[in-house]
Amino acid sequence: MDEKKKSKGLPKKERMKIPRTPMPEQDPKERSRNFSEVPLGYTPEMAIKEATRCLECKKPKCIIGCPVEVKIPEFIGLIAEGKFIEAAWTLKETNALPAVCGRVCPQETQCEITCVTGKKSKPVAIGRLERFAADYERAQGKMQIPEIAPPTGKRVAMVGCGPAGLTCAGDLIKLGHEVHIFEALHAPGGVLVYGIPEFRLPKAIVNAEVDYLIACGMKLHLNTIIGKMYTVHELMEEENFDAIFIGTGAGAPAFMRIPGENFANIYSANEWLTRINLMRAYEFPACDTPIHRGKIICTIGGGNVAMDSARTALRLGAEHSIVVYRRTRKEMPARDEEIHHAKEEGVEFHFLTAPLEYSADDEGKVTEMRCIRMELGEPDASGRRRPLPIEGSEFTIECDTVVVAIGNLANPIVPDTTPGLKLNKWGNIDADRETGATSIPGVYAGGDIVTGAATVIEAMGAGKVAARAMHEYLTKSETAATT
């Protein structure tokens, strides 16, 4: 207690001198062969020390950087005082999934980039502190159900139980609406369970956050594909939902459309990760879903999903896990931390390289990938320098497994079965960025199905924005109905 008080009382200058507290991690050699979580989390002592670095700015800039408007200085202040449970509750006032966000948010480009401490030294480790508080609360078993407004009598449906839908659900429950969430797969969480590997986000954490929302009153319907079992219109007309949020994600893998891409043992990242994360193929034959355990596994792409895929390849026992990316390290969209972890674990990188075609053996199983070297030209629409092929630079990479991690397109099931739902030219749902409103009154959308593949926290931000607009719509329509 004394130490806490002392740190809290430290003058700002002194606080700025405290170095950023590193996160203990599993040893790279050891962890590259297991599926346990890589960062081990702060101890209470580490958390207090790190929290003390926060200057508690009067006009905090970090909050502006957070898509779900977490009260950052407030929760960090509580950690500095040793009030960890209270810190977790503060987080949950605005963020339904703090243990998830503390792990997978790109804090370095959001809250931490604007941190004032970060101007002179390294920014306060906001993400690590968020993770600490949420984990602490869960470990103590002191999950608190927030205050819930009296029932409004309104029924709302969330289509898709990923980060967007869960966030939207969390906010609408607190406002007193009856919230039902529909999930196509047999487990809740969306990309948090089928996509992000156990070593980056343990499934138990996702389940605990979903259980929290269920405890708050959310009704979960698994194995229910909207567009097949019920259409969006049927939800409104036959199942009596007053408003709907579509957060189905960017669930359709993109392929390069190059020759040989349908050879066996060439996977989309979605299939590769789903087999391993959701279906536990790494436990085959104890679990029934198989996966090809290749010796040389090439992953195409440079994003977080590519890093997850390549790191998973090592854990399946690959002798070489090779990332093939057409630009350079600098242009990689993956988080620095993920690239760093991948390199530490032994993932190899072929930069400025693009696959041209695949070859296979008599059984149709991939044996090699013909590639071409690239060079960077002028910046393209994304602002990154456009990769251009170098004529005559073709070469081959031997491989027995390939994971294509070049992004996702819009899943067609809901758009195809919802007449009147306006789409953009890429097939994503056209929704107002300020409200999430779609072309159908009462139907809102957010997350990757609107933006194309983005981050968990951006999807959560969209869920929050939509929840606010839906609440307004639901309460307004009430007024309209009674007058």
Would you tell me which residues interact with another protein (CB under 8 A)?
A: 184-186, 194, 222-225, 228-230, 251-253, 255, 257, 261-265, 267-268, 270-271, 274-275, 279-280, 283-290, 292, 363-365, 411-413
Nearer to another protein, 5 or 186 (CB): 186
Closest separation between CB of residue 416 and another protein, Å? 8
Nearer to another protein, 107 or 248 (CB): 248
Nearer to another protein, 30 or 283 (CB): 283
Closest separation between CB of residue 159 and another protein, Å? 12
Closest separation between CB of residue 203 and another protein, Å? 13
Nearer to another protein, 45 or 416 (CB): 416
Helix, strand, or coil (residue 424): coil
Question: Rounded distance, CA 392 to CA 172, Å?
Answer: 58
Write out the two tokens for 415.
């758009």
Burial class of 13 by CB neighbour count within 10 A (0 to 12, 13 to 18, 19+): exposed
Nearest to 68 by CA among 23, 98, 45, 25: 98
Closest separation between CB of residue 271 and another protein, Å? 4
Closest separation between CB of residue 156 and another protein, Å? 20
Torsion of CA 446, 449, 455, 458, to 10 degrees: -10
Residue 268 has phi, psi (to 5 degrees) of -75, 155
End-to-end, the C-alpha distance of the chain in Å comes to 58
Nearer to another protein, 363 or 434 (CB): 363
Closest separation between CB of residue 35 and another protein, Å? 16
Closest separation between CB of residue 210 and another protein, Å? 17
Question: Over the Cα atoms of the chain, what is R_g?
Answer: 23
Question: Rounded distance, CA 234 to CA 238, Å?
Answer: 5
SS3 content of the chain, % helix, strand, coil (to 5): 40, 15, 45
Write out the two tokens for 479.
């007024």
Nearest to 355 by CA among 325, 331, 390, 333: 325
Closest separation between CB of residue 429 and another protein, Å? 15
Nearer to another protein, 224 or 367 (CB): 224
H or E element that contains 300: strand 296-300
Nearer to another protein, 143 or 225 (CB): 225
Closest separation between CB of residue 231 and another protein, Å? 10
Nearest to 189 by CA among 220, 157, 215: 220
Nearer to another protein, 81 or 261 (CB): 261
Nearer to another protein, 89 or 230 (CB): 230
Closest separation between CB of residue 117 and another protein, Å? 41
Tell the residue number behind the tokens 């195809």, with chain if given. Answer: 416
Tell the residue number behind the tokens 């027995």, with chain if given. Answer: 400
H or E element that contains 367: strand 366-379
Question: Rounded distance, CA 237 to CA 309, Å?
Answer: 42
Closest separation between CB of residue 364 and another protein, Å? 3
The answer to whether residues 163 and 68 touch, using CB atoms and an 8 Å cutoff, is no
Nearer to another protein, 30 or 239 (CB): 239
The Cβ of residue 424 has, within 10 Å, a number of other Cβ atoms equal to 12
> What are the residue ranges of helices labelled H in 58-146?
72-80, 84-94, 98-104, 117-120, 126-140
Helix, strand, or coil (residue 469): helix
Nearer to another protein, 184 or 474 (CB): 184
Torsion of CA 220, 224, 225, 231, to 10 degrees: -90
22-27, long-range: CB within 8 Å, 24+ apart, which pairs? Answer: 23/125, 23/128
Closest separation between CB of residue 99 and another protein, Å? 23
Nearer to another protein, 415 or 463 (CB): 415
Question: Rounded distance, CA 251 to CA 109, Å?
Answer: 25
